[in-house]
Structure 1
């Protein structure tokens, strides 16, 4: 009976964590470049049950009865890096990264493209949020003040909001002077990136010092940068609300099972107490 209580409790915890993840997705439905998280729920290892000391004769047998599940848990939250829709803003500092053809890995999964910016510690960070602005020093930055980097890893000075960006990310002033090229890197396995605040992603793996390859001119990679557009969040609000309802119902089902076990234990304790 206690095994059943632990299984039901584990199911409630897993669904609660899933609900929190879905709530965060829904809260970021209007966040530019946000990538929705998906839950990976797995079961604990099954337990093998045996009948102890059964059978006749001096040697007791322990025949196998079968296996029993021991509950589930949410193993991880996996971001979905699917391309989001583009939204036209008309703001010259807004840049949308539109992925084209990308190579596939051995497992058939595609990589992803990201803008490069500076983090709070000065190291390189990655983002899909192209809702940029120009700070007081005339540098192209994110809304949170992180400097946007060019293909050489240098900060981009645009001076003012009067500049043009072509499809390859080359920035030119209103007089036609080339100011730099927006850095876009290709990440073969974006699941290795970890989330930080302000829509930034960080990487601590083996390629952290060398950095990811620039997408411009890279074989098998095509993309476009659209000025005056931003990439919307890829959260599907309708689908997310339906998943939240399913998670809530699964939580309630496990809760009712737990209540049934609790009532059974209470009844057993009370009746045993009266017999004593």
Structure 2
């Protein structure tokens, strides 16, 4: 069998992985704070004693588009959006500190401030917990203030401050849970330090940075590429059959 069939096979595999990435982007076009993923592959020559006529497709570590999405006004007190660079620091189910731009916050029955997915929002000393209140207010610096139950509207009490972080963009990678975290090469010994220069906008949410039309076009292009790779495999198989018949007739 002509080993060129493996060339088409590796190309088809990488095309399918790229289709999955773009399909996931398209599925999250309405997800608050979602950052679209890139799909990337490169040619990898086959090593050994042979002519340089074969190159396989090899996956490279995919990246994430960290550009900001548009701000959408909601008017809700617990909705926040990060202005410019930066991330909200939250704690996932495994107790790990991870980063997100999804600022649709809510309170559980214990008064803990959580994301829409249930992750605890971190403050100066850990997860933020609010006592019973009449009204809650989140400032531009991330400070969380409340009007206590029975208190006058002008009586604002500072409870905590949402932890905002700004790690270097090149040192971040997205996990399978959809949250960003520092990569192994850029990991810190302790928790990520808070950045006091970052700002929030209350009553707004950041939309996904996915362009639906662009993702649909990319999927169509990848579909054509997949058909081409399958054609290569079919041609290689046909060539192998012809070669076998010729050898039988010798």
Is TM > 0.5 for Structure 1 vs Structure 2?
A: yes
Residues 45 and 52, structure 2, Cα contact 8 Å, conserved in 1:
no
Match of 1:230 among 182, 191, 205: 205
Deviates more, 1:200-209 or 1:182-191: 200-209
Structure 1 residues 160, 46: CA separation in 2 closer, same or farther (over 3 Å shift)?
A: farther
In structure 1, distance between residues paired with 2:116 and 2:192: 24
How big is the shift at 1:40? 1.9
Unaligned 5+ runs, structure 2: 148-154
Structure 1 residues 15, 207: CA separation in 2 closer, same or farther (over 3 Å shift)?
A: closer
How big is the shift at 1:240? 0.9
Structure 1 residues 95, 158: CA separation in 2 closer, same or farther (over 3 Å shift)?
A: farther
Secondary structure of 1:250's aligned partner? helix
Matched, 1:126 2:111: no
Structure 1 residues 30, 260: CA separation in 2 closer, same or farther (over 3 Å shift)?
A: same
TM-score, with structure 1 as normaliser:
0.79
How big is the shift at 1:208? 4.1
Match of 1:177 among 127, 136, 157: 157
Structure 1 residues 209, 152: CA separation in 2 closer, same or farther (over 3 Å shift)?
A: farther
Secondary structure of 1:230's aligned partner? strand
Match of 2:59 among 58, 74, 84: 74
In structure 1, distance between residues paired with 2:96 and 2:37: 25
In the TM superposition, 1:68-217 aligns within 5 A as 68-99=53-84, 112-157=85-130, 159=132, 162-174=135-147, 175-189=155-169, 191-197=171-177, 199-203=178-182, 205=184, 207-217=187-197
TM-score, with structure 2 as normaliser:
0.86
In structure 1, distance between residues paired with 2:100 and 2:170: 11
Residues 104 and 205, structure 2, Cα contact 8 Å, conserved in 1:
yes
- 2:21 aligned residue: 21
Residues 171 and 182, structure 2, Cα contact 8 Å, conserved in 1:
no
In structure 1, distance between residues paired with 2:108 and 2:74: 19
How big is the shift at 1:171? 1.6
In structure 2, distance between residues paired with 1:82 and 1:161: 36
Residues 134 and 146, structure 2, Cα contact 8 Å, conserved in 1:
no
- 2:152 aligned residue: none
Deviates more, 1:236-245 or 1:174-183: 174-183
Secondary structure of 2:166's aligned partner? strand
Matched, 1:10 2:1: no
- 1:109 aligned residue: none
Unaligned 5+ runs, structure 1: 51-65, 100-111, 218-222
Q: Which has the larger radius of gyration?
A: 1
- 2:30 aligned residue: 30
In structure 2, distance between residues paired with 1:32 and 1:261: 46
